[in-house]
Amino acid sequence: MNKNTTIALLAGLILPFTAQAGDSTGVSPVRDSIRTANHGERAQMHAGNQGERHALQTEHQAERQALRQEIQAAGGDSAKRTELRAKMTALKAEHKAEKKALHAEHKAENAAMTAEHKQERAGHKAAAKARKAERKAGKGAQVR
């Protein structure tokens, strides 16, 4: 045999093993589908949260813009302008509190979803362990 033939034969033997080792589909299809479903659920929740945040931000901007226009319309009346500026400060604080509350709500939803997914995963693991023990017990009964 010449050198090129030997290399070709070795490559033919080694390549299938390396392809199998690098194959990411070694994960069970059930686990992969559960993971995909969880990612989809989380992405959907995230998109909804983004929409909710955006709507709140737009509403807040409109309220502040209306108040700014009132301040400008007050013109030279310094008492009225001072009162409106104080109102603007209170409005900003209120908006900040609303945004913080919304963030906390979303964080709690995310934590609940994570806990639910962990619980599901633990259930799947327990079921797999039970099936494995059942198979092992069945093999022991067959050997006797």
The answer, yes or no, to whether residue 82 has pLDDT greater than 90, is yes
pLDDT at residue 16, as a whole number: 63
pTM: 0.63
pLDDT at residue 50, as a whole number: 93
Task: Decide: helix, strand or coil at residue 144.
Answer: coil
Q: How much is the mean pLDDT over the chain?
A: 85
Mean pLDDT of 10-30: 62
Beta-carbon contacts of 105 under 8 Å, excluding residues fewer than 6 positions away, are none
Mean pLDDT of 117-140: 90
The Cα 15–Cα 84 span in angstroms is: 76
For residue range 26-77, what is the model confidence (pLDDT) as tens digits?
A: 667 777 788 888 888 888 889 999 999 999 999 999 999 999 999 999 888 8
pLDDT at residue 5, as a whole number: 74
pLDDT at residue 7, as a whole number: 73
**CB neighbours of residue 84 within 10 Å:** 19
By the 8 A CB rule, do 60 and 95 touch?
Answer: yes
**CB neighbours of residue 62 within 10 Å:** 10
The answer, yes or no, to whether residue 114 has pLDDT greater than 60, is yes
